[in-house]
Structures are given as structure tokens and as C-alpha cells.
């Protein structure tokens, strides 16, 4: 009787629930499993029996794919892009959110709408391209990172909401102590906002790591490619080397999967909060 909010939930109903959940688990896990299984098959094994479980355990596919797709060249770019853009985005958003949350700027309410606009207006990719082209930043790492450093409405709202919940007395204490603004932000606000930063940081990282559209538009030399672009080009060149391609896709996805395993809670929190507020 402890859990009455669940009603009686008859046994058949429970069974139906489990069944549905299981069906969808299959829909989501089978493709991933098939891809993984393919990635550890030798080419011959795959040709002979594409659907069967691997017999060859060809983990060497990962090495071959790594070399053939030149991921070694791209992964450092991806790490550079992801880290710089994430840190920059977070700092920019945080510094916008704080004054709004504290109402240290006039018309705090209006800012909300300014950022809301961004959600609905067209992407502006074309003028952006012209700007980047005319600044001479086309096909440069710097240009790409400027593009990918996004101050988006979601993170501003999210931070604003979070910072509002922090006690205001601290600010005053800081002023009395003569603590500088920047110092105060970095020393006091940032540590307190850690969970929020983790959420938004992970989401931004995922977005930048996975970007394919901007990297297609702005990066044309192989020396600047990020790893997803490497994967896309690789999949065009080796269209039917499925074992290698499967290995390549797991190489690209591996860092994200690891991040996801450890940061799932923050990622989901970030999206939940964004959804409810946005």
C-alpha cells in the first residue's frame, strides 16, 4: 500500500509495459549491436555470413580503419575544437547569465526575448559564410571555432535559472571584501554553478564533436578536418567496406559513449531543464 500513486497496475498491464519497453530496447540496441558485431568481423567473415555473430574477432579492423581514415590527423583537431569551443561558450553564456539573473543590467526581461529570437529565426548560414569569407577566416581553425562557439538561448536560460537560486548575500559579501568581479565569478560563482556547467558543458561538447554541417561548409583542407568529417569522407570512399566503416564509426563515437556513461545524469538534467523552461 506504500505506493498507491501507481494504482493497482494489474499484472497484464505490467507485462504489456515491459513488452513495449523491450521492443523499443531492441529497436535501439539491435542496430548498434549489429554495427558493433560488424566492426569486429573480418571482411571475409562478413561476406560469408553478414548477419551471423562474429567468428573472426577481427579487432584489427579498428587499427586499419584508424589508419585508412587518417583519424590520427583529425582527432587532435576535434579535441582542440571541442575544448576551446566548449570553454568559450560556457564562459560567454555564464557572463551573460549572471547579470541577467541578478538584474544588474536594465531590462533583464527583454534580454530573454533577444535570446529567444535565436531559436526561431533562420540560421543565417549564408551571411555568416560571407562574413567568414570576407574576414579571411574561411578554412581556418580559428574561423571554424568562432562559428562553433555558440551563445545559445538554452544555455543562457539555463544558467540564468540556476544562478537565481544562488544566495544574493554572497555578492554583497564579495563587494565588501573588495573582491574583483572576474575573481568573484571564477572563484565563487563558477564552483557553485558546477552542476549547471557540467550539464551545459557536456551538451556543448557533444554538439561540437558531432558537428558535420559547419565542418562541411567551413573546413576544406584535410589538415583542418574534424573527426566526424573524416568519418563522412571515409564512408564516401570505402562505401562497401562495411567492417572498416563500422569500426570507424565506433572510433568516432567512443569518446562520446564514455562521456555519456559518466555524465548521463548531467546531460539529461540539462535537457530536462531546457525543455521545461524553453
Regarding 110 and contact with other proteins (CB under 8 A), the answer is: no
Of 130 and 169, nearer to other proteins (C-beta) is: 130
- The least distance separating other proteins from the CB of residue 240, rounded to whole angstroms, comes to 4
Regarding 121 and contact with other proteins (CB under 8 A), the answer is: yes
- The least distance separating other proteins from the CB of residue 46, rounded to whole angstroms, comes to 7
Contacts of other proteins in 174-213 (CB under 8 A): 180-182, 185, 206, 209-210, 212-213
The terminus-to-terminus CA distance of the chain in angstroms comes to: 37
Stretch of 56-64, 84-92, 165-173, 187-195 contacting other proteins, by CB under 8 A: 84-92
Residue from the set 78, 82, 86, 93 that interacts with other proteins by CB under 8 A: 93
Residue from the set 80, 166, 170, 192 that interacts with other proteins by CB under 8 A: 80
Stretch of 25-33, 54-62, 165-173, 190-198 contacting other proteins, by CB under 8 A: 25-33
Residue from the set 64, 75, 88, 198 that interacts with other proteins by CB under 8 A: 88
Contacts of other proteins in 153-172 (CB under 8 A): none
The angle, 0 to 180 degrees and rounded to 10, between the axes of the packed helices 194-210 and 71-102 is: 140
Regarding 53 and contact with other proteins (CB under 8 A), the answer is: no
Q: How many residues bind other proteins (CB under 8 A)?
A: 119
Of 60 and 180, nearer to other proteins (C-beta) is: 180
The angle, 0 to 180 degrees and rounded to 10, between the axes of the packed helices 227-237 and 71-102 is: 140
Length of the chain (residues): 278
Contacts of other proteins in 211-240 (CB under 8 A): 212-213, 216-217, 220-225, 228-229, 231-233, 235-240
Regarding 92 and contact with other proteins (CB under 8 A), the answer is: yes
Amino acid at each position: 500500500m506504500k505506493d498507491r500513486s501507481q494504482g493497482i497496475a494489474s499484472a497484464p498491464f505490467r507485462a504489456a509495459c515491459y513488452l513495449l519497453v523491450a521492443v523499443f530496447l531492441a529497436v535501439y540496441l539491435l542496430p548498434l549491436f549489429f554495427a558493433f558485431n560488424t566492426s569486429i568481423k573480418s571482411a571475409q567473415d562478413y561476406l560469408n555470413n553478414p548477419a551471423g555473430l562474429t567468428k573472426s574477432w577481427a579487432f584489427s579492423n579498428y587499427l586499419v580503419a584508424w589508419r585508412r581514415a587518417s583519424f590520427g590527423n583529425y582527432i587532435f583537431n576535434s579535441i582542440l575544437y571541442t575544448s576551446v569551443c566548449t570553454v568559450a561558450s560556457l564562459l560567454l553564456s555564464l557572463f551573460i547569465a549572471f547579470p541577467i539573473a541578478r538584474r544588474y543590467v536594465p531590462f533583464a526581461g527583454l534580454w530573454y526575448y533577444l535570446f529567444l529570437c535565436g531559436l526561431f529565426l533562420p540560421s543565417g548560414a549564408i551571411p555568416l559564410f560571407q562574413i567568414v569569407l570576407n574576414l579571411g577566416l574561411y578554412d581556418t581553425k580559428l574561423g571554424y571555432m568562432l562559428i562553433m562557439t555558440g551563445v545559445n538561448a538554452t544555455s543562457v536560460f539555463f544558467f540564468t535559472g540556476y544562478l537565481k537560486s544562488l544566495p544574493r548575500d554572497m555578492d554583497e559579501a564579495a563587494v565588501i571584501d573588495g573582491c574583483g568581479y572576474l575573481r568573484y565569478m571564477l572563484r565563487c560563482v563558477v564552483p557553485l554553478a558546477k552542476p549547471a556547467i557540467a550539464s551545459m558543458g557536456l551538451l556543448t561538447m557533444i554538439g561540437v564533436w558531432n558537428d558535420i554541417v559547419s565542418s562541411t561548409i567551413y573546413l576544406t583542407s584535410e589538415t583542418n578536418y574534424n573527426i566526424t568529417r573524416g568519418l563522412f569522407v571515409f564512408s564516401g570512399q570505402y562505401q562497401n567496406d562495411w567492417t572498416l566503416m563500422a569500426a570507424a564509426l565506433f572510433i568516432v563515437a567512443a569518446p562520446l559513449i564514455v562521456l555519456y556513461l559518466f555524465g548521463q545524469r548531467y546531460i539529461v538534467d540539462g535537457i530536462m531543464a531546457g525543455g521545461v523552461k524553453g
